[in-house]
Amino acid sequence: MVTIYDIAEKANVSAMTVSKVINNTGRISEQTRKRVKKVMEELNYIPNSNARSLVLQQTQILSLLITDITNPFYTSLARGAEDSAKKLGYRLLFGNSDEDYDKEQDYVDMILSTRVDGVLFAPAGDHSLKHLEKLRAHNIPFVIMDRAVPGIESDIVSGDSMQGARNLVDYLISLGHRRIALVNGSLDVSTARLRYQGYAEALQLHGIALDDRLVIHKSYREYKDEDQLPHLLEQPSPPTAIFAANNFLAVGVINALRQRGIRVPEDMSVVCFDDLDLSSALDPFLTVAAQPAYQFGAMGIQLLVERIQGSAVPEARKIILPSELIIRSSAKTIGK
């Protein structure tokens, strides 16, 4: 690999001069500047960012840690993050935690040893706390995405889970449903708690008693049918509608329903959080509370870079992006 020393030698200057030309610092005559640049091109010089990072104590690398790249929500988020990062001159190191705390831990160590300038962090859940504390202990700026973690004050970009949940449940109620089930993520995750809360509030406001037999808290990432539908359907008074706390769960629920010969929405209404992108484009079926996932990523990187560059206010900034209720056809008036 060619280094600034190679350039220096061929251009008959010192390495420092080359460095100055590269960074446009110091006083260099137009003449030598051109000569040096020409040699750089001739030799196909590419600066070694490792060396640079070592002395500058900054890498121009940000880390994006999410829980599942195959979920369209995070896919779009990643897209937004990537676009922003590129614009701002940062590279992106990528990690997928699968909502698994051990994997998340591995990535945190990787992040620390890479000396990234900052992290866009979508936590697996509440126990991500110690990972975030570790980052903080090492002075790595981060912005939390999507899920708040109790015990950590930091910049965060999240959706309005309560409002979204309330809107969905309000909508179901407006269609005449009274027995509404919630298939939720784990209560370890802030958004699951808030969606539950929004669900409960909506019911309460309409004078419907909360029935805990209609609520299941499991994982956002895997839908295991034996843990879910049977509990709901084999009840004296089964639900007429199901609110799935995210897109994955909705797909799982709908498939499981269909396998039992239960039609959606004729026999059972289903709504959920997060949209399905391509799927919805092909077949506008699922009624959802859609979140602006791309914005999550784009804004997250912006906040992060402001934080890194010190141009942010010292206080933690909390951005809450509203979700949009998109009414399609997976829910319908009860009994019709």
Partner DNA sequence: AGTAATAGGGTTATCGATAACCCTAATTTA
Partner DNA sequence: TAAATTAGGGTTATCGATAACCCTATTACT
Applying CB under 8 A, the residues found at the interface with a second copy are 1, 44, 46-51, 53-54, 59, 61, 64, 69-70, 72, 75-76, 78-79, 82-83, 86, 91-96, 103, 106, 109-110, 112-115, 137-138, 247-248, 250-251, 254-255, 276-279, 281-283, 285-286
Q: How far is the CB of 79 from DNA (least distance, A)?
A: 31
**Run of H or E residues at 244:** strand 241-244
Site for DNA in 206-245 (CB under 7 A): none
When asked if residue 4 is in the footprint of DNA (CB under 7 A), the reply is yes
**String of DSSP letters for 137-160:** HTT--EEEES---TT----EEEE-
Q: How many Cβ atoms are within 10 Å of 78's Cβ, its own excluded?
A: 22
23 binds, among a second copy, DNA, none (CB under 5 to 8 A by kind): DNA
Q: How far is the CB of 53 from DNA (least distance, A)?
A: 8
Q: How far is the CB of 200 from a second copy (least distance, A)?
A: 27
**Run of H or E residues at 95:** strand 91-96
Considering the complex, state which of residue 4 and residue 173 has its C-beta at the smaller distance from DNA. 4
Angle at 142 between CA 138 and CA 148, to 5 degrees: 115
Edge-to-edge strand list for the sheet holding 324-326: 215-217, 180-184, 241-244, 269-273, 287-290, 324-326
Q: How far is the CB of 309 from DNA (least distance, A)?
A: 15
Give helix then strand counts, H and E, for the chain: 13, 12
How far apart, in whole angstroms, are the C-alpha atoms of residue 53 and residue 265?
Answer: 57
Instruction: Pick from 14, 259, 329, 333 the residue near DNA by CB under 7 A.
Output: 14
Instruction: Pick from 24, 27, 139, 234 the residue near DNA by CB under 7 A.
Output: 27
Query: How far is the CA of 290 from the CAs of 164, 165, 333, in angstroms?
Result: 8, 11, 21
Piece of 11-19, 149-157, 195-203, 238-246 that binds DNA (CB under 7 A): 11-19
Q: Give the gyration radius of the chain's Cα atoms.
A: 26
Q: How far is the CB of 276 from a second copy (least distance, A)?
A: 6
Considering the complex, state which of residue 32 and residue 279 has its C-beta at the smaller distance from DNA. 32
Site for DNA in 38-57 (CB under 7 A): 47-48, 51-52, 54-57
How far apart, in whole angstroms, are the C-alpha atoms of residue 7 and residue 21?
Answer: 11
Q: How far is the CB of 23 from a second copy (least distance, A)?
A: 14
Judged by phi (left if over 0) then psi (alpha if -120 to 50, else beta), residue 53 lies in alpha
Q: How far is the CB of 70 from a second copy (least distance, A)?
A: 6
199 binds, among DNA, a second copy, none (CB under 5 to 8 A by kind): none
96 binds, among DNA, a second copy, none (CB under 5 to 8 A by kind): a second copy
Considering the complex, state which of residue 13 and residue 119 has its C-beta at the smaller distance from DNA. 13
- SS3 (DSSP) at 194: helix
List the structure tokens of 285: 């079926």
Q: Are 271 and 241 in contact (CB under 8 A)?
A: yes
302 binds, among DNA, a second copy, none (CB under 5 to 8 A by kind): none
How far apart, in whole angstroms, are the C-alpha atoms of residue 156 and residue 250?
Answer: 26
How far apart, in whole angstroms, are the C-alpha atoms of residue 215 and residue 199?
Answer: 10
Considering the complex, state which of residue 21 and residue 241 has its C-beta at the smaller distance from DNA. 21
Residues that bind DNA (CB under 7 A): 1, 3-5, 12-17, 19, 22-23, 25-29, 31-33, 47-48, 51-52, 54-57
